[in-house]
Amino acid sequence: MDKLTGMKVFVSVARAGSFVGGAKEMSISRAMATKHIGQLENYLGARLFNRTTRSLSLTDVGGTYLQRCRTVLAEIGEMEDAVMQLHTEPKGKLKVSAPHVIGALYIAPAIAEFLILHKDLSVDLILQSSAGDLVDEGIDLAITFGNLEDTSLIAKKMASSPLLVCGSSSYFGANGIPLVPEDLVHHSCLVNSAIPPYHKWFFKGLEGQKEIIVSGRMRANAADPIRIAAKKGLGLVMLPEYIVARDIEKGHLRAVLQDYAAEPMHVHAVYPHRKYLSVKVRTFLIFLEEWLRTRSAFNE
C-alpha cells in the first residue's frame, strides 16, 4: 500500500467529515478513498473512524493519528519546498483567505495580475471574516488585521491604511463638523462591532492618545453597512482609508479630524510556521506587498 497517499486521504476525509468530501478534495472516487482508509486501518491494526449511515467521526486513535499525520505531511512538504527553492517559477495551487471588503476590492485584483504573470499557478481565494484554521483548512496564506493570537503562525506586515473619520455633506450640514475629538460625544457615530472595543475611538493629540467613547444610531459587525449608512447621512464612521477611499473621491463622504489621526490599520499576511517557505507563497508575498503599497489607500 502507498502509506503516504493513505495518510493524505485520511487527513482529507477527517477534514471534510465524510468520505465523499475527502474524495472530492483528493480528486478520487469515494470507493478509492474508502479503500485507502481500509488499507491504512488494516496496516495499523486500529480503527480510525467511527462509521454510521449518517455520520463519520474520529476514534481516539484516529484523533491522535491525525495530529501525527499532519506533522509528517508538513515535514514532507518542507522537504519538497526546500528542493523547490531551486526553481524560480511558482507552480500548483495557492489557497488564500481574506476579509470580504479588502479581499474583493484589493486582494482579488492583485491575484488577477499575479496570475497573468505566472501561468502555471492557480489561486483559490476564500472571503471570510476570520482567517480560519490555516492548517486544518489547507490555507497557504491569510490576510488579517490587528494582533496575531496564534503563536504557531507567522505574520508579515504588508501595508497600513490610515483610519479616517468620515461623514456626508448632508450630515455635516444638519449637525455641524467636529473640530476636535471631544466633539464626537455630540454626534451620531456608527460603529463596527467586529472590531473591539467598538464603543471607543482613539486619536492622537499634543497630549498623547485620546480615548473617546462614542455612540450612534447604528451598529453592525462589518464595515459596509455603516459605510452605506454614513453616505445616507445617518452619522460618522471611523474606517480604514481603503474602505472609504472611493466614496471620498466621488464626494459621497468627507474626512474630518485628520490632525488627530489615530494609529493606522495594519494589514498582515499570516501563514503557518514553516522552516522553508514555498516558492508560490514567497513569490506572492513579495508581489502583494509591492502591489498594496502602490495603492494610495495604503500609502500612509
Sheet with 163-167, strands from edge to edge, namely 219-220, 189-192, 236-240, 163-167, 254-256
Tell me phi and psi for residue 239, to 5 degrees: -140, 155
- pLDDT at position 170 is 96
Residue 112 CA: distances (Å) to CA of 71, 107, 116, 253, 288: 32, 9, 6, 29, 11
| Domain co-membership, 79 together with 99 | no
Average pLDDT score over residue span 158-183:
94
Query: For residue 33, what is its C-alpha cell?
Result: 478513498
* pLDDT tens, residue by residue, 51-99: 887 889 999 999 999 998 988 888 887 777 666 655 567 888 999 999 8
> Worst-scoring range by mean pLDDT, 14-23, 143-152, 190-199, 218-227?
143-152
Query: For residue 281, what is its C-alpha cell?
Result: 507563497
* pLDDT tens, residue by residue, 233-260: 999 999 999 999 999 999 999 999 999 9
Number of domains in the chain: 3
| Domain co-membership, 233 together with 101 | no
Burial annotation 271-283 (CB, 10 A radius, 16+ → b, else e): bbeeeebbbbbbb
Prior bond of 162 cis (ω within 30°): no
Distance, CA of 273 to CA of 97 (rounded, Å): 17
- pLDDT at position 275 is 58
| Domain co-membership, 174 together with 246 | yes
| Domain co-membership, 176 together with 243 | yes
| Domain co-membership, 128 together with 198 | no
For CA atoms 80, 85, 90, 96, the dihedral sign is: positive
CA angle (265 as vertex; 280, 99 as ends), nearest 5: 50
Interhelix angle 108-117/279-293, nearest 10 degrees: 120
Residue at which a domain ends, from 84, 106, 125: 84
Average pLDDT score over residue span 204-219:
88
| Domain co-membership, 156 together with 271 | yes
Tell me phi and psi for residue 81, to 5 degrees: -65, -35
Distance, CA of 57 to CA of 34 (rounded, Å): 14
| Domain co-membership, 153 together with 283 | yes
- Here the CATH number for the domain that contains residue 123 is 3.40.190.10
Q: 183 Cβ partners below 8 Å, 6+ apart?
A: none
| Domain co-membership, 155 together with 285 | yes
Residue 134: pLDDT over 90: no
- pLDDT at position 88 is 64
Tell me phi and psi for residue 281, to 5 degrees: -70, -45
Q: What 3-state class would DSSP assign to 47?
A: coil
- Which of the residue ranges 10-19, 157-166, 226-235 has the most confident prediction, judged by mean pLDDT? 226-235
User: Could you tell me which of 229, 297, 246, 233 has the C-alpha nearest to residue 267?
Assistant: 297
- The full 3-state SS of 48-100, as one line of letters, equals CEEECCCCEEECHHHHHHHHHHHHHHHHHHHHHHHHHCCCCCCCEEEEEEECH
The fraction of the chain above a pLDDT of 90, given in percent, is: 58
Query: For residue 173, what is its C-alpha cell?
Result: 450640514
CA angle (256 as vertex; 252, 257 as ends), nearest 5: 165
| Domain co-membership, 154 together with 272 | yes
- Here the CATH number for the domain that contains residue 256 is 3.40.190.290
Query: For residue 90, what is its C-alpha cell?
Result: 511558482
Tell me phi and psi for residue 122, to 5 degrees: -125, 155
| Domain co-membership, 21 together with 109 | no
| Domain co-membership, 191 together with 255 | yes
Domain that holds residue 113: 92-160+265-298
| Domain co-membership, 190 together with 56 | no
Q: What 3-state class would DSSP assign to 150?
A: coil
Query: For residue 292, what is its C-alpha cell?
Result: 498594496
* pLDDT tens, residue by residue, 258-291: 999 888 888 999 988 765 678 889 899 999 999 9
Count the neighbouring beta carbons within 10 Å of the beta carbon of residue 75: 12
